[in-house]
């Protein structure tokens, strides 16, 4: 049995009857950019994360960039994040002219190690971006305690962590803002590009809304200069249809993860993902570690089981960031997870048979 890594077509089939009228409405009203569908979605997405505001933007990368921009991060500044993330986290920093400073991750949660964070802070540190990677929130109580002690704003990269919680609070509620991606494959995905920022800060929300739309809050009057980071009306409509289903999809992901974890624990040298005791992990990705990663990857691929690597080369070793001067060995945990991590099929609509097939194939591999 073939098992795809993710199946977006299947989800569409279940939503078609709601989706087509919503999208048609956009064409009939011609509200293609921002407009009511985006405003409605922003309001509901903010509510879903217990946040005062959500600002819809073009991508998750825009979401991260717009917060740093609104915080006046710029040339000469440093922003601390992790090397074990998608490159967009660091690009958002580079786009402001600031320098990304990496710290290693915790070996169990794969998120920013707060003990290393404190050591990386310098007088130039203007912001800290913990990444709620794979859907697991970072150690936000510890990170916030350090950041608050130094008076440094925290921007949460929640691009993979819609509805995730830490210590009973939604992601995006710890720092000054949370950045979300609505890339199609995300837990909440648009039918194209999309992103959003949540915040409780009135002034920051106002400024980000302006930056998103060329620095204006009145058409053709520009108090500051900004960019075009507006969310499409069509994507607002799509996301508005999908959002009411997100909690149930998240429960399904968590249930699938539970089955994987119960049956893969103790198999060969597999290390299953650990949910930190204070976290509600939303399993955007289900990533196991094994010293036999490359051969397991080939074995599953040959059996038409979709797998992925998130991410095979850490940012500090990427060609694009060679100017930062990092070298192999600088972040040993990050490097180990990059070499050993394998993402298994994970999406809400996975069936018991499909999960069984994946687990059976992994059992066969270790036999």
CB within 8 Å of 300: residues ≥ 6 apart: 307, 358, 361, 362, 365
CB of 58 vs ligand PLP, minimal distance in Å: 8
Stretch that binds ligand PLP, among 135-143, 157-165, 235-243, 299-307 (CB under 6 A): 157-165
Q: Which residue has the tokens 């990857």?
A: 297
Residues that contact ligand PLP, how many (by CB under 6 A): 14
| 183 forms part of the interface with ligand PLP (CB under 6 A) | yes
| 157 forms part of the interface with ligand PLP (CB under 6 A) | yes
Pick from 42, 23, 19, 43: nearest CA to 31: 23
Gap between the Cα atoms of 309 and 293, Å rounded = 10
Q: Which residue has the tokens 């687990």?
A: 359
CB of 149 vs ligand PLP, minimal distance in Å: 26
Q: Which CB atom, from 59 or from 235, has the smaller least distance to ligand PLP? A: 59
Gap between the Cα atoms of 11 and 13, Å rounded = 5
Q: Which CB atom, from 21 or from 312, has the smaller least distance to ligand PLP? A: 312
For residue 78, the surrounding DSSP H or E stretch is: strand 78-82
Q: Which CB atom, from 233 or from 355, has the smaller least distance to ligand PLP? A: 233
Stretch that binds ligand PLP, among 15-23, 152-160, 165-173, 198-206 (CB under 6 A): 152-160
Q: Which residue has the tokens 């993860």?
A: 257
CB of 133 vs ligand PLP, minimal distance in Å: 6
Q: What letters, b where the CB count within 10 A reaches 16 and e where it falls short, cover 167-206?
A: eebbbbbbbbbbbbbbbeebbbbbbebbbbbbbeeeebbe
| 85 forms part of the interface with ligand PLP (CB under 6 A) | yes
Q: What is the Cα gyration radius of the chain?
A: 20
| 159 forms part of the interface with ligand PLP (CB under 6 A) | yes
Q: Which CB atom, from 60 or from 306, has the smaller least distance to ligand PLP? A: 60
In this structure, what are the phi and psi dihedrals at residue 289, rounded to the nearest 5 degrees? Answer: -120, 140
Beginning with the edge strand found earlier in the chain, give each strand of the sheet holding 78-82 in spatial order: 99-103, 78-82, 125-128
Q: Which CB atom, from 86 or from 365, has the smaller least distance to ligand PLP? A: 86
Q: Which CB atom, from 130 or from 365, has the smaller least distance to ligand PLP? A: 130
| 181 forms part of the interface with ligand PLP (CB under 6 A) | yes
| 286 forms part of the interface with ligand PLP (CB under 6 A) | no
Stretch that binds ligand PLP, among 27-35, 36-44, 81-89, 240-248 (CB under 6 A): 81-89
Neighbours of 218 (CB within 10 A): 8
**Region for 85 from its dihedrals, namely left if φ exceeds 0, alpha if ψ lies in -120 to 50, beta otherwise:** beta
| 61 forms part of the interface with ligand PLP (CB under 6 A) | yes
- Per CB under 6 A, the list member of 31, 37, 59, 199 interacting with ligand PLP is 59
Gap between the Cα atoms of 104 and 334, Å rounded = 6
Gap between the Cα atoms of 272 and 344, Å rounded = 11
Q: Which two tokens stand for residue 271?
A: 């290390």
Stretch that binds ligand PLP, among 57-65, 148-156, 236-244, 288-296 (CB under 6 A): 57-65
Gap between the Cα atoms of 108 and 275, Å rounded = 9
Stretch that binds ligand PLP, among 46-54, 84-92, 115-123, 289-297 (CB under 6 A): 84-92
- Per CB under 6 A, the list member of 60, 138, 273, 306 interacting with ligand PLP is 60
Residues 194-213 that bind ligand PLP (CB under 6 A): 195
| 160 forms part of the interface with ligand PLP (CB under 6 A) | yes
Neighbours of 227 (CB within 10 A): 17
Q: Which CB atom, from 89 or from 136, has the smaller least distance to ligand PLP? A: 89
Q: Which CB atom, from 60 or from 114, has the smaller least distance to ligand PLP? A: 60
CB of 271 vs ligand PLP, minimal distance in Å: 21
Residue 285 DSSP label? S
Residues in the site for ligand PLP, rule: CB under 6 A?
59-61, 85-86, 88-89, 131, 157, 159-160, 181, 183, 195
């Amino acid at each position: 049995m073939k098992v795809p890594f993710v199946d977006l077509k299947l989800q569409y089939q279940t939503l078609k009857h709601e989706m087509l009228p919503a999208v048609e409405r956009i064409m009939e009203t011609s509200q293609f950019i921002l407009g009511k569908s985006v405003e409605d979605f922003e309001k509901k997405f903010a509510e879903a994360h217990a946040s005062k505001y959500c600002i819809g933007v073009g991508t998750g990368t825009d979401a991260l960039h717009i917060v740093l921009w609104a915080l006046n991060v710029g040339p000469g500044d440093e922003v601390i994040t992790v090397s074990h993330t998608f490159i967009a986290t660091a690009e958002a920093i580079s786009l402001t002219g600031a320098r990304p400073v990496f710290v290693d991750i915790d070996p169990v949660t794969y998120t920013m190690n707060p003990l290393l964070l404190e050591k990386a802070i310098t007088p130039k540190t203007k912001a800290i971006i913990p990444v709620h990677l794979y859907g697991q929130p970072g150690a936000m109580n510890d990170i916030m305690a350090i950041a608050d002690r130094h008076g440094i704003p925290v921007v949460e990269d929640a691009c993979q962590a819609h509805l995730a919680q830490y210590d009973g609070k939604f992601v995006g509620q710890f720092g000054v803002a949370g950045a979300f991606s609505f890339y199609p494959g995300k837990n909440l995905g648009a039918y194209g590009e999309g992103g959003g920022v949540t915040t409780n800060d009135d002034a920051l929300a106002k400024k980000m809304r302006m930056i998103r739309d060329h620095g204006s809050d009145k058409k053709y009057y520009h108090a500051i200069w900004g960019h075009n980071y507006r969310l499409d009306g069509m994507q607002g409509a799509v996301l508005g249809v999908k959002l009411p289903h997100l909690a149930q999809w998240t429960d399904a992901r968590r249930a699938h993860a539970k089955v994987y974890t119960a049956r893969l624990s103790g198999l060969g040298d597999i290390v299953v993902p650990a949910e930190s005791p204070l976290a509600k992990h939303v399993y955007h990705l289900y990533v196991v570690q094994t010293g036999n990663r490359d051969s397991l990857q080939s074995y599953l691929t040959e059996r038409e089981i979709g797998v992925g690597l998130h991410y095979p080369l850490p940012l500090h070793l990427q060609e694009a960031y060679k100017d930062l001067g990092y070298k192999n060995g600088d972040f040993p945990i990050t490097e180990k997870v990059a070499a050993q991590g394998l993402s298994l099929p994970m999406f809400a609509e996975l069936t018991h048979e499909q999960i069984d097939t994946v687990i059976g194939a992994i059992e066969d591999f270790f036999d």
